[in-house]
Amino acid sequence: MMTSRLLRLTSPSRRALLAAALTLPGLAVAAPAAPTPVRAVASFSILADWVRVVGGERVAVDVLVPPGADAHVFQPTPAHARQIAQAQAVFAIGLGFEGWLGRLLQSAAYRGLKIEVSQGIEPVRQAAHGHSHGHGHAHGDVDPHAWQSVKQAMVMVGRVAEGLCQADAAGCETYRANAAAYAGELRTLDTEIRAAWAAVPAEQRRVITTHDAFGYYARDYGVRFLAARGVSTEAEPSAQGIARLIRQVRQEKVRALFVENISDPRLIEQIARDTGTRPAPEALFSDALSPAGGPAPTYTALMRHNTRALVRAVRGD
């Protein structure tokens, strides 16, 4: 994993530096001692990106739910429990997003720091969905997908920095400085997204997705999302819910239908067939980054990719 790769990278190079310092006559200054990295675990790929950005070289980050995978239906293994057992800090979104985490921490007998970064955000209440089929949601009534708001992301990145400060007081200034620099990038990103939507008439801003992951994006950027599933991917959509969505697509002439990187595309493909439309050529990244080399390997790349794809689709480009 990330940690062992980091250790493999740092130890030989440090040894090489030390060897150089010992063999070169007159070179009395030893390489500054790199601290042993803080071991952190992040629940899923987007949060892991923030912990890496804020932690920099002082923190080695393991991620439980990897890029491209669905955190709603994640099933931890003993290997994940071992990662947890070695960690000094575990980062999660909270808001019921990682329903499996409590049991995992317990099975790892974890006693270290647990930081729920959503503390202090302005939550989106779960919308009352027409497709509801009577089952309760594990999440209560709060939408956990807070990273889809850049404003809320800024709050959560601040929480990451404070969590790392608790785990490693000596690095606190570094963490705060990294978080402040990144907050500047996020402000630019937020401005960009607002500018991209400013040119789109409000009545065109309608999108169909697989699951209801974009409530925060909807609130911040004035886009209406209709989803076949609720805020979790666990429950199957009902036939009634799908029929209602198909009616909405026809009546409201929604042109933007999106598959997601973490969800089975067949549902959206069916709705597209039944309504004589086509899914947008690019998937939205809802709950996970893409692998490195894909279109959304970081949080900022993810938000830019989604915004570009959404704006193109609703404009019919």
Binding site for Zn ion (CB under 5 A): 213, 287
Neighbour order of strands in the sheet with 206-211: 224-229, 206-211, 256-257
Nearer to Zn ion, 44 or 175 (CB): 44
| Crossing angle for the helix pair 45-55 and 299-315, to the nearest 10 degrees | 130
Q: Measured from the CB of residue 155, what is the shortest distance to Zn ion in angstroms? A: 19
* In the complex, minimum distance from the CB of residue 18 to Zn ion, in angstroms, rounded to a whole number: 47
Contacts of 1 (CB under 8 A, 6+ apart): 62, 83
Structure tokens at 18: 């030390």
- The three-state (H, E, C) secondary structure of 258-278, written as one string: CCECCCCCHHHHHHHHHHCCC
CB of 297 to Zn ion, least distance (A): 19
Q: Which is nearer to Zn ion, 175 or 225 (CB)?
A: 225
Task: In angstroms, give the least distance from the CB of 232 to Zn ion.
Answer: 6
Minimum separation from the CB atom of position 179 to Zn ion (A): 25
Q: Which is nearer to Zn ion, 56 or 99 (CB)?
A: 99
Is the CB of 74 or the CB of 175 nearer to Zn ion? Answer: 74
By C-beta, is 95 or 115 nearer to Zn ion?
A: 95
- As a whole number of angstroms, the distance between CA 146 and CA 122 comes to 9
Task: Select from 182, 15, 1, 157 the least CA-distant residue to 91.
Answer: 157
What count of other Cβ atoms lies within 10 Å of the Cβ of residue 4?
10
